[in-house]
Amino acid sequence: MENIDKLVKSIAGIYRDAEQEFTPMVEDLIHNDCRDPQRITWLLDRMLGYANYAPILLLHRRLCRHYYFIDPEDTKWHVYKYKEMWEHIDDADEETME
């Protein structure tokens, strides 16, 4: 059981580190009204792997809202990619809670 606790704490630390890394990057892009699709999609792609963690999902959504006014079709692609990757997990969590 001790090993599982260590593993859980390690994974939680990885997610917190990712949040600390992504937050200033998202803030910078939005604050400076970045319109460079390559920079924005690069960050959206990186955050996608952590988007099952609520704080990073919120960052992903904020950046998608910003990007929507630049390229609505590509933004939709990123939203669908999130749903494809994580929505089934959210549904399973809801079923477990009921």
pLDDT in tens, the chain (98 residues): 778 888 889 999 999 999 999 999 999 999 999 999 999 999 999 999 998 999 999 999 999 999 999 999 999 999 999 999 887 655 544 443 33
pLDDT of 53: 92
Q: Which two tokens stand for residue 16?
A: 């917190």
pLDDT of residue 89: 55
DSSP of 18-82: HHHHHHHHHHHHHHTT---HHHHHHHHHHHHTTTTSHHHHHHHHHHHHHHHTT-HHHHHHHHHHH
User: In this predicted structure, what is the pLDDT of residue 75?
Assistant: 97
Q: How deeply is 78 buried, as exposed, middle or buried, from its count of CB atoms within 10 A (0-12, 13-18, 19+)?
A: buried
Question: Whole-prediction pTM value?
Answer: 0.82
